[in-house]
């Protein structure tokens, strides 16, 4: 079972903030019910990088069970077979001892309406918190495999 899903994306000074925003919306919009507001989900923090360049960090959290289920469905409908194979191979390394399952997706692909894994740090970071009782990596692994098609 999923407890919540965190999204984080960084917009550097050289990037169009609206493009980064639409890339994040690509992930969030399919997960919302008609009464939910996309803007209410997102939070933006402004900070500075090297040489005092402005950086915007956008975050969002899906907490509702229905929204988390919709994300899983969105993932299954949009992930390529090649990326799914990568996920199958890397699943044990992507699930930490606190039962967080980590994925990175290309910002550029998301802005173009495509779901694509990346190893780049210039990405949309997704952290899926898995819930088991009692807390157990051995129980969380099969849950991740079932939810995200890693079997």
Question: 151 or 12, which is more confident?
Answer: 12
Token code pair at residue 148: 């995200």
Among candidates 125, 102, 128, which has minimal Cα distance to 8? 125
Report yes or no: 126 and 104 within 8 Å, Cβ to Cβ.
yes
- Which comes out higher in pLDDT, residue 61 or 151? 61
pLDDT band with cut points at 50, 70 and 90 for residue 150 = low
Please report, for the chain, the start and end positions of each structural domain, with discontinuous segments joined by +. Answer: 2-148
pLDDT tens by residue, 13-56: 888 888 899 999 999 999 998 888 888 889 999 999 888 999 99
Of 21 and 150, the structure prediction assigns the larger pLDDT to 21
Paired tokens of 139: 């129980």
Per-residue pLDDT, 151? 54
* 3-state class (DSSP) for residue 128: strand
Residue 113 CA, chain-centre distance (Å), reads 15
pLDDT digits (tens, 9 = 90+) for 94-127: 999 999 999 999 999 999 999 999 999 999 999 9
What integer pLDDT is reported at residue 119 of this predicted model?
94
pLDDT at 14: 85
Rounded Cα distance, 75 and 150, in Å: 12
CATH for 2-148 is 3.30.1440.10
Please state, in angstroms and rounded to a whole number, the distance separating the CA atoms of residues 24 and 6: 11
């Amino acid at each position: 079972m999923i407890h919540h899903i965190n999204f984080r994306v960084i917009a550097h000074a050289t990037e169009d903030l609206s493009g980064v925003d639409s890339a994040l919306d690509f992930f969030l919009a399919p997960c919302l019910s008609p009464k939910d507001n996309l803007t209410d989900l997102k939070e933006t923090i402004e900070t500075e990088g090297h040489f005092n360049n402005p950086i915007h960090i956008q975050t969002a959290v899906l907490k509702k069970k229905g929204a988390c289920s919709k994300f899983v469905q969105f993932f299954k409908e949009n992930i390529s077979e090649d990326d799914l194979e990568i996920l199958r191979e890397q699943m044990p390394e992507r699930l930490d001892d606190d039962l967080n399952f980590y994925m990175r997706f290309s910002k550029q692909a998301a802005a173009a309406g495509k779901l694509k894994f990346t190893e780049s740090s210039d990405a949309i970071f997704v952290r899926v918190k898995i819930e088991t009782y009692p807390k157990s990596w051995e129980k969380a692994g099969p849950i991740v495999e079932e939810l995200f098609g890693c079997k």
